[in-house]
Every structure is written in structure tokens, then in C-alpha cells.
Amino acid sequence: MPRTVQTPSEDPATGLRRHLDPDGQVVRPVPEELDETALLEMHRWMVFSRVFDDKMMALQRAGRIGFYGEVRGQEAGAVGCGMALRDDDWVFPALREGIIMLMRGFPLDQYVAANFGNALDVMKGRQMPCHYSARSVHQVSWSSSMATQLLHAAGAAYAAKVKGHDRVFMGFVGDGGTSESDFHAALNLAGVHKLPNVFVVQNNQWAISVPTRLQTGSASFAQKAVAYGFEGVRVDGNDVLAVYSAAKEAADKARAGGGPTLIETVTFRMGGHSSSDDPTRYRDAALLAEWEAKDPIKRYEAWLATEGLLDASGAKEVRNEAAKRINEASKRAEAADWPTPETLFDDVYAEMPPNLAAQRDEMLKANPDWKGPAH
């Protein structure tokens, strides 16, 4: 497998780190530790994310789930970062990084059920769709109030450092979230205490309808790390190999006590901000076409084909298998019952105190036949 090529020297915070150009040609050496199995796994998960989007958007448009936020166009960011972490590292995602849970073995049925909010959902329907989380795979729910998960990531990293753990805590945020005060507070805390954090800004060019040029006056988002005393790296977010290598280097550095890193993935949100958004009202069609030509999956497939690792037939098989699994899981998830009333009192305390148990019993006595809302 060719591992050649040279890249011009550049400021990592304002340049653009890239391993594959938009045509799928190698422009920087491919990380040596990625064997054929790992390379194909990255492809499989990016495709899985894209097919999952298609299914969830279809369910939302049919009125069967209430909300969905597409990843389409940003698959390389989540998958590349997920591949760079250990399974016991903690992830604090934003809207479009849930796939990392599946990469770590979280059950697909339960993942789908989070969008229905029924009894199969590990959060018992208490969270909005797409706010995936599970202790079993070390992923914490993000918050729609924007950027709060970065503070959680920094706080958890501080605790780990005090306890002498060697885990890494990765927090994601969109370009719009960098304007929130929590972004600055989290980076400052991490910089002062040299915490084992990797912060990832998924710069998809739009904070709903606000373009990047109106979001910051800095040359890049990665450049902002300098003010907090640590390194910023700007990468091509549609190049899964570039995302992986930057995330792996940052995670290794954090694990070894070298402190945090801020990674900016330069990418593009091909769909709306969510199923409630119409991007045609504020975004030119020509811009979408320009970025569709840089599709991260097509780029990676072109390179895999050049390496003899994947052909058109193989790519189709990957898509078909993903669709089959997702369709079957969606049927099972949708068929699940609603959470029962007594689950309202679960998960408040590790052990339920007497006063809460009394409230639960009183509610059940007053509503003996209530089994939850009708489907």
C-alpha cells in the first residue's frame, strides 16, 4: 500500500491537514497502524451513518418520530475520532457524533429506540431524539443548550487526573457553539490544568442559518486554542484519515500527560440543521453542489478502490447490509411499549428514599390502569 508523499509545512491551526485530496489521492502518508481491517471498518461505519440518516429522516417525515438531526456530509468527523479512542475513553458528543456508541458495541435496537423514546430506550423516553448516551459505552448526553458538554468533559478530565487515570475525555461542539461562554470556560480550565481533553469543533460552515464568517473573526477555530495555552489543529473534516490521525495524536498526547488539544474539522452540513430546518431559505444551491463533490464517503471509496480494497460491488454490499440491519432494528424498536408510569421515579437516586417511594406508590394507587400513552 503506497505510503508516500510530501506535504507543505504550515501552521497547524490555520492550515488544513489532509491525507486524501477531494479526488481520493494520497497527499500525506496514511497512518501505518491502520491495517486493512481498520481501513474497511471506517468505511463501513461512515456508510452505516449515512444509511441510518436516510431511515430516520423517512420515519420523521412519516410522523413516526418527532425530530432528527442528520449527520450527512460529516461522517468522517465522528468515525475518524471514534476510531482514534480507546473504548474506555469518554465521549461528550454534540448533535452528530452518536455513531461512536455503535462503534463501541451499543445495541442498535436501543440506539434506534432513543428516537422513539419508548421502553426500549435506556433513557426511558426522557431525552430528546438524537441525544444518545449510555454509561456502558462511556458516552454522555449532549445538551441542546449548546456547548455545555465541553464543561462536563473538562470536569470529568479533571477528576480523572486527580485519580491518576489514563483515560481521555473528548468533547464535541459545532462552530456555533464556540460563541457560547461554556466553550471558553472549558478550554480555559483544560489549559490551566493540562487536562487529558481533546476538544473537537465540527465546523460545518453553518450554525443553523448563521455562516462561519459571522461566527468568528479568527483565522480559524483551531487558532483559539493558543489563547488557552495549548495546541490547535485544523484538519480536512471530509478526510477520515486526516481526522483519525489528528485525533489519535491528540489522544496519545493527552494520555501521556501532555495536556489538551483543540481540533477543528472543516466540513459541511449537507442537509438542514435538523428535520425542522429548511436550508434552501438561507443557503445557495451552488454551495451545496460544491461540497457534495467533496463527499467524505465518495472520497474514501475512491482511495479504497485505488488500493484494491473495495470495488463498486463491495461498496453496494456494505450499503445493503447496513440498510437491512437498520430496517430490522427500526421495526423492533418501534414495536416496543411505552415506559410504564413507575419509571418516572427511577434513576433519581442510587437507592430510592422512602419519601420518593411513597410518592410512586400514591401515583400508582391513584392511576391503577394507566399504562402509558397510546401508540
Instruction: Give the Cα separation of 41 and 53 in Å (integer).
Output: 18
Write the burial class of residue 174 (CB in 10 Å: 0-12 exposed, 13-18 middle, 19+ buried): buried
In the chain, the amino acid numbered 14 is T
* Best CA proximity match to 200, nearest among 149, 159, 239: 149
Instruction: Give the Cα separation of 357 and 93 in Å (integer).
Output: 34
Looking at the chain, how many residues does it have?
Answer: 375
Active-site residue (options: 61, 86, 282, 375): 282
The conformational region for residue 86 under phi > 0 = left, psi -120 to 50 = alpha, else beta, is beta
* Cβ-Cβ contacts under 8 Å for 369 (sequence gap 6 or more): none
158 is catalytic: no
The conformational region for residue 237 under phi > 0 = left, psi -120 to 50 = alpha, else beta, is alpha
- Give me the half-sphere count of Cα atoms (radius 13 Å) on the Cβ side of residue 154: 23
273 is catalytic: yes
| DSSP code at position 240 | H
In the chain, the amino acid numbered 339 is P
Active-site residue (options: 50, 104, 167, 273): 273
Active-site residue (options: 18, 19, 167, 269): 269
Helix 108-116, helix 312-334: angle, nearest 10 = 60
Extract the runs of DSSP E, i.e. beta strands, from the chain. Answer: 90-92, 169-174, 197-203, 206-207, 210-211, 231-236, 261-266
282 is catalytic: yes
Q: Are 40 and 314 in contact (CB under 8 A)?
A: no
Q: Which DSSP string do the residues of 67-115 spell out, in sequence order? A: -----TT-HHHHHHHHHHS-TTSEEE--TT-THHHHHTT--HHHHHHHH
Helix 36-61, helix 75-84: angle, nearest 10 = 140
Secondary structure class of 249 (helix, strand, coil):
helix
Active site residues: 269, 273, 282
